[in-house]
Structure formats: C-alpha cells, structure tokens
Structure 1
Amino acid sequence: MQRHRSSAVLNLSLLCYCLVLKQLVLLCGAEGLPQHRLPDLHWYPGTATWYGEPEGDGSTGGACGYGTMVDVKPFRARVGAVGPVLFMKGEGCGACYKVKCLDKNICTRRAVTVIITDECPGCPSDRTHFDLSGAAFGRMAITGENGQLRNRGQIPVIYRRTPCKYPGKKIAFHVNEGSTPFWLSLLVEFEDAEGDIGSMHIREAGSSEWVQMNHLWGANWFIIGGPLRGPFSVKLSTSTGRTLSARDVVPGNWVPKATYTSRLNFYP
C-alpha cells in the first residue's frame, strides 16, 4: 500500500513537472531564451488633443527624426505626438497605439491607430497624453461630427499598445547626414511589431563582433570608431526582446543621407 501511494505521488509530481515544462516551452525558444512578451490588451486612461490643420497629417518631421516620411503613407495622417510618459526621451519612437474617444454622443466605438513620430511640447508629465494630427483626431467622431469633436479641444480617451504593421515594407536603415567613417548614425524605418528599439548593434566587414550602438535622439542611433569598414550588418532588438539581424545591409560604399533596405521584417 505504501508503494502504491508513493507511485501515485511520483506520477502526480511527473504530471506537474510536464505541465510546467510545457508552459516553459511556450514561453521560451528552442535555446531556452525568453521570447517577447505577449501584447497587453488592456485599455488605459489618457487625454488627447490635436494639432496642425483640421484635416491635416500633423507635423512635418518631428522629434523622432523621421523627416518627410511622416507626409506620405503609411505614416500619413496616422502620426501622433506624445508626452514624456510614452515618449521616454525618444525610446518610444515608432511604437503604435490604438486611441479611442470615450464620449459616446459624438464618437464612434472604433479606435484610431497612430504611430509615435513626435514629442508633444508642454504636454503633462503626470499622465498619458496624445497630441494627434487633425485627421486622426477627427476620425474618432461619428459621421459628420469631425469638426464638432475637434472643437472640444481636449478629450478623455483610452489607449493601448498595438503591433505596427507595414505590409510590403522591409526594415530600412537611413544613414544620417554628417556620418563619416569615424562617426556613423542610423535611423530605422518601417519596423513591424513593437516598432520601437531597445538596443542596436553593428558588425563591421570581416568581424565577428557585434558592437553596441548608442542612442542619439529620437529613433537615431550612432557608433564612434575609426575607421569603420563596411559593409555593415545591423542587429536590432525591440523593447520586448524581439531580435532581427540584417546582414551586410549597409554597403561598403555607403553615403550620408542614403537609405538601405533590408530583406527582413518581423512580420512576413
């Protein structure tokens, strides 16, 4: 009888171990490394205003450094500025959010999706605030009430993080003006998934070492060396741990202000 109880306890222990192991497999990759966190589907309270032209696309350029990209699709009319809570000194650049108006009398139930491209000067630092393009702000209104919604000025909203999606686009690296073989600065464009950058590394031609780049401002990163030898491979990691490496994406004959497109993105 004692052996029977011991066997039952052993079987139960093995079952518990298998269940735990199964959960670890779901949470970890083949090498046992933690994968990116699941998206947070909870909605959080915030406030929103709008800027620019009533039906406009928002600002040109912005504090993230995307320049004229914000004037054309897929950024056009989807740009948004945020306060310090989400801007995080530029580390929040590129992230995508769904923003929904709470006033049922004038707003629809649908949320507008915006891409963080700018910082909102003077926005409150004690709460989450969005300063949207006129077009994005008005899109939350029911038909025919766009102007009335904009007349409200500041409105209460709820928001949540959402994956960035750029169908047909691959991650590109723009070499910033002023770059030299001794100081190289890159801007990342069209990054799917989280959209933001947690860290960036670069590997020179003929080297097996990944060297960490430093955050410059907005979505811009840089490295100091000398002389730096291309072609360069670039590895970037998002804030949640997704990693992607683009081999020899910046050619040896690179020039400042040129953009070099990889063959990769986080989504097919």
Structure 2
Amino acid sequence: MASGACALEQRAWGRFEQGYGLETAALSTALFNDGAACGACFQLICVHSKWCRPAAGAIRITATNFCPPSSTSPTPWCNPPQKHFDLSQYMFLKFAIYQGGVVPVKFRRVRCHKQGGMKFQMNGNPYWILVLVYNVGGAGEVSNVKVKGSNTGWIQMQRNWGQNWLTGPGLVGQRLSFQVTASDGRTVESDNIVPPTWAFGQTFEGHNF
C-alpha cells in the first residue's frame, strides 16, 4: 500500500484502506489547497462531450489525493490554473465512455454523507503523536483539531500533511478527547473516546457532523 497526499493508505486498484472505496478523486493544484481540501465532497456532471454517457446523471466523489502538475506531460491536466479531477476508472465510467479519457465537467461542492463516526487513527511515537482524521461528514474538510488528555486541557494540534494532525509528547497513557472543526465553522467534540491503554496504530471512532 502507498500513502497519498491526504495521508490515506491506497490499495491496489485505487481503493483506500480507510473505507472511501472507489468513489474518490485526486485534485489538481487549483482545487487541492495544499491539502486543506482533503475529505471534501463534490458532485460532477459530464457536459458538452460526445463521450458523456447519455442520461448518466451526476456522480459524487471524495477528495482523497493530489494530482501533481507536470512539466513533461503532453497533456498537463493538473497544472495550474486548471481545475481537474483525476477520477478512479470506476467513477469515470459511471458518467463517461472510456475512450474519452478526459471530459469537461460541471462541478459543485456538496455535503459529505459518511456511515458511522469520524475516525481517529493514532500514529507516531512517544515523542510526537500524529492523528489521521478521516470519514468526516458534513463539509468533509477539517480546518482545526484539538486534543485533550485526562491530565491536560485542550491542546492545539497542527496540520502536518493531508488529514494528519500533529502534537508533541505527553499524551501516552492518557484517555483522549478530540475537538474537530470543519471548514464551515462547525465543531464536533468527541469526549473520552480513546482509552488510556491505547497504542500506536489503533483507530477509534467519535461523533460525526
């Protein structure tokens, strides 16, 4: 498995370890926003092309990776200022014909509908803790995360990359709570969801938007 620009583990055939399935896309620089757009959901409709499937309707995807710009590709679709979605083949075929390759779309941001609670995957070591926040409903984009131990107040975490949020040492062996704020300003608090016996590599479920 490889870890993409949103810190999600990608399996063969484009599926993600964290449960996003194939309803995903990598975003071009103009949309990716240095990783802040990770987790955002979009609705896309194929338009003005002979390769659009008739009456296919719209597809919905979650942003799970970055489509990097290229200085060598003859068709640099992901170069600024182009707004481009690099879809999984499964999703592309839902609204367009394979031979089209690249098709024009209309798109808009939509709310994310996720099953179950928000997930917190604990990574790092005794010197720093890296929490992967995913399966985020509502706006989908996480703009701020705070963590509280059973022996601390609320501690501000810093975005490390993608959906990974970083804090320093001192929380190992404590019961943990999280406050997550989305890009629309809404905040969800998940109290005492991580037991004091937690270990690196474990994932815990909190409330969702």
- Which of the five TM-score ranges fits, normalised by the shorter chain? 0.7 to 0.9
Deviation at 1:198, TM superposition (A): 0.5
Partner of 2:7: 65
1:103 shift after superposition: 3.0
Correspondence for 1:214: 158
Is residue 114 from structure 1 mapped to residue 52 from structure 2 by the alignment?
Answer: no
Q: Which residue of 1 aligns with 2:25?
A: 80
* Residues matched between the structures, number: 196
Give the partner amino acid of 1:115.
Answer: T
Q: State, as a whole percentage, how many aligned pairs show the same letter.
A: 29
Structure-to-structure mapping, 1:210-249, within 5 angstroms: 210-226=154-170, 230-249=174-193
Q: Residue 194 of structure 1 aligns to which amino acid in structure 2?
A: A
1:173 equivalent in structure 2: 120
| Alpha-carbon separation, structure 2, partners of 1:135 and 1:213 | 36
* 2:131 aligned residue: 186
How far apart, in 2, do the equivalents of 1:254 and 1:227 lie?
10
CA contact (8 A) 2:4 2:10 kept: no
Relative to total residues, which structure has the larger strand share, 1 or 2?
Answer: 2
CA distance in 2, matches of 1:245, 1:112: 31
User: What letter is aligned with 1:265?
Assistant: N
Instruction: Assess if the C-alpha contact under 8 Å between 1:205 and 1:229 holds in 2.
Output: no
Name the amino acid aligned to 2:204: Y
- Report the Cα distance in structure 2 between the residues aligned to 1:190 and 1:156, rounded to whole angstroms: 28
Q: Which has the higher helix share?
A: 1
Alignment of 1:119-158 (within 5 A): 119-122=66-69, 123-141=78-96, 149-158=97-106
- Specify the SS of the correspondent of 1:155: coil
From 194, 205, 208, the equivalent of 1:250 is 194
Structure 1 letter corresponding to 2:43? K
TM norm structure 2: 0.85
Indicate how the Cα distance of structure 1 residues 157 and 185 shifts in structure 2: closer, same or farther if over 3 A, else same: same
Map of 1:42 onto structure 2: none
Q: Shift of residue 60 of structure 1?
A: 5.9
Larger radius of gyration: 1
| Structure-2 separation of matches of 1:66 and 1:73 | 7
Deviates most, 234-243 or 67-76: 67-76
Q: C-alpha offsets along residues 179-231 of structure 1, whole Å, 9 cap, x if unaligned? A: 22330110112111111100001111133x21110000111001013365511
